[in-house]
Amino acid sequence: MKRVLITGASGFLGSHLCDRFVNEGFFVIGMDNFITGDYDNIRHLEKNNNFQFIEHDVTEFVKIEGQLDYILHFASPASPIDYLKIPIQTLKVGSLGTHNLLGLAKAKNARILIASTSEVYGDPLVHPQSENYYGNVNSIGPRGVYDEAKRFQESITMAYHRFHGLETRIVRIFNTYGPRMRLNDGRVIPAFMGQALRGEDLTIFGDGSQTRSFCYVDDQVEGIFRLLFSDYSYPVNIGNPHEISIKDFAFEIIKLTNSNQKVIFKELPVDDPSQRQPDISLAKKLLDWAPKIGREEGMKRTFEYFKNLPEEKLYKSEHKDFSNHIKK
C-alpha cells in the first residue's frame, strides 16, 4: 500500500484530498496544527484503518516513520483575513515548512507536490494568466506575505528538483470553493453566503468590477491528483476559466439564496487583484483535465453545506482566534 503525507489535512482542500487518497487505496497520514484548519473536516476518517492523523507544525522538523511515497504540502493560511493577521506564520510555512518537507521527501525518496497559488501572478498585467507569466507582485505590500511565501516555495522546490533530482510537482490553484470552507475566512463565497444566511447585506470591496474565476473543489482535487501522477515538474494552473465580476456574482448569490439583501460597497483593499482567470491550456494538454462542474451546480452544493451548518458556526466571530499561534 502506497503511503502519502498530506499537510494542511484539516483544512478545506487538504481534507478533500485526504478523502480522495483514502478512497483510491492509499494509506494517508494527515498533518495539521489547526492554525486555520478544523478537525471536524476529517473527523469522519478517524476510525478508518487507512488514515492516521498527526498534530504538528511543519515549520518544525517533520519526522515520519517508515515508508513514504508521496507528500502533498497544503499547509498554509489561504485567506487575506488569515494571512494579514498571522503574516509571519504565513511566511514561515511557505519557507521553513516547505524546506522541512522537501528534506523529508529527499530522505524518503518520495515525490512531493506543493500547493502554490494564482496569487504568484499578483495583480496581473496579462489576461488570462498562463504559467509563463512572471507576475506583478508588490513584495512589501500587506498581501506580499502570502504571495512571496508561495513564490519562494516554488523557487526552493525547483532548486531541490534541479540540484537533488527530487521528483517535484507544483500546482497553481485558482479560486476554489465547496463544502468545508470556513464560513468566516473572509473569502468572497463564504462571505456572501454567510451574509445571506444571516440576513445581512452583501459587502463588495471596490466597485465590484474586479473579476474572479471559481473552480469547484471536486474538479480541483481531480486536477491535483492527475498532476501528482504526471511526469511534469513545472507549475501547472488548475482552475475554472469561467470568469465573472464580483458585482454580478453578488446578485447570483442573492438569487441562489432567495434572499432580499442589498449590495453595499466598501473601500478596496491594497493590492487586491483586478482580474483573475486561469489559462488552463497546459492542464488540458498534459493532464487531459478540464473542470466539469459548472458554477450554478457547484454553488447549489456549497450553499446546501453552509445552510446545514450548526448555528454557532453560522454566527461565529468574523475572525478566527490566532492568539495561541501569534506568540510563536
In which band, very low, low, confident or very high, does the pLDDT at 121 lie, cut at 50, 70 and 90? very high
From 59-68, 215-224, 225-234, 303-312, the region with the lowest mean pLDDT:
303-312
- Report the DSSP beta bridge partners of residue 122: 136
Please check the confidence at residue 136 and state whether its pLDDT lies above 90: yes
Angle of helix 246-256 relative to helix 295-307, nearest 10 degrees, comes to 60
**203: pLDDT confidence band, cut at 50, 70 and 90?**
very high
Maximum distance among all alpha carbons in the chain? 58
SS3 226: helix
CB neighbourhood size of 5 (10 A): 26
pLDDT of amino acid 280: 98
CA–CA separation, 102 and 160 (whole Å): 7
Q: Give pLDDT tens digits for 273-300.
A: 888 999 999 999 999 999 999 999 999 9
Mean pLDDT throughout 31-42?
Answer: 96
Query: Is residue 325 over pLDDT 70?
Result: no
- How high is the pLDDT of residue 324? 65
Q: Does residue 247 register a pLDDT over 60?
A: yes
Contact (Cβ atoms closer than 8 angstroms) between residue 27 and residue 67: no
List, in order, residues 6 or more apart from 315 with CB less than 8 Å away. Answer: 198
d(CA 210, CA 273): 7
Mean pLDDT of the chain: 94
pLDDT digits (tens, 9 = 90+) for 191-201: 999 999 999 99
- What pLDDT score was predicted for residue 269? 83
| Backbone phi and psi for residue 244, each to the nearest 5 degrees, phi listed first | -145, 145
Question: Number of folded domains in the chain?
Answer: 1
* pLDDT over 60 at 321, yes or no: yes
CATH code of 66's domain: 3.40.50.720
The pLDDT > 70 percentage for the chain reads: 96
Give the highest mean pLDDT range of 78-82, 96-100, 121-125, 181-185. Answer: 96-100
Q: Pick the residue with more confidence: 105 or 183? A: 105
CA 175 to chain centre: 8
Q: Which domain holds residue 259?
A: 3-326
Q: How far apart are CA 156 and CA 145, in angstroms?
A: 16
Beta-bridge partners for 114: 73, 170
Average pLDDT over residues 236-250: 97
pLDDT at 25: 98
pLDDT for residue 243: 96
Q: What phi, psi does 42 have (nearest 5°)?
A: -125, 5
Catalytic residue among 83, 146, 177, 216: 146
Is 146 noted as a catalytic residue in this protein? Answer: yes
More confident residue, 310 or 150: 150
Q: Which helix (H) or strand (E) element contains residue 301?
A: helix 295-307
* Per-residue pLDDT tens over the stretch 87-96: 999 999 999 9
Q: Is residue 99 scored above 60 in pLDDT?
A: yes
* More confident site: 84 or 167: 167
State residue 272's pLDDT score. 82
Q: What angle do CA 280, 148, 7 make, to 5 degrees?
A: 75
Q: DSSP string covering 167-202, please?
A: -EEEEEE--EE-TT--TTS--HHHHHHHHHHTTPPE
| pLDDT-based confidence at residue 302 (cuts at 50, 70, 90) | very high
- Sort strands 70-73 and 211-213 into parallel, antiparallel or unpaired: unpaired
- CA–CA dist 159, 65 (Å, integer): 26
pLDDT at 327: 55
